[in-house]
Amino acid sequence: MSVLGIDVSKDTLDVVWMDAQRQTQYCQVENAASGYAKLKRWLRKRPVDGVCLEATGRYSEGVAEYCAGLAGPGAASGDAGNR
């Protein structure tokens, strides 16, 4: 299983991908359509089974829509109060 964690801010997305062996990789992209395209390219060789996304209102809406198509059934996004 591999997961994607995204810290959302107004201008950037800090993204960490972790595989089943708990190996991690990091990238930072713009919080805009151009950043989502870069993220898509970065994820080509990194399967995603689940996404954890910081819910920040309007700043997280675009990336949440993008991520909805990444993870398999049952995957959830949101911070679930984990701060």
H-helix or E-strand spanning residue 50: strand 50-53
Q: What angle do CA 2, 66, 45 make, to 5 degrees?
A: 40
Considering the domain boundaries, does residue 50 fall inside one?
A: yes
Domain range enclosing 31 = 3-67
Question: For the sheet containing 3-8, what is the strand order?
Answer: 24-30, 12-18, 3-8, 50-53
- pTM for this model (two decimals): 0.79
- pLDDT at residue 79 above 90? no
pLDDT, tens digit (0-9, with 9 covering 90-100), for 44-75: 889 888 889 888 889 999 998 888 876 554 44
CA-CA distance, 12 to 45, in Å (whole number)? 22
Q: Is 45 exposed, middle or buried (0-12, 13-18, 19+ CB in 10 A)?
A: exposed
Q: Tell me whether residue 73 is in a domain.
A: no
Average the pLDDT over 4-12 and give the result: 95
CATH number at residue 45: 3.30.420.40
Q: Which residue has the higher pLDDT, 79 or 59?
A: 59
Number of domains in the chain: 1
**6-10, 29-33, 52-56: the lowest-pLDDT one:** 52-56
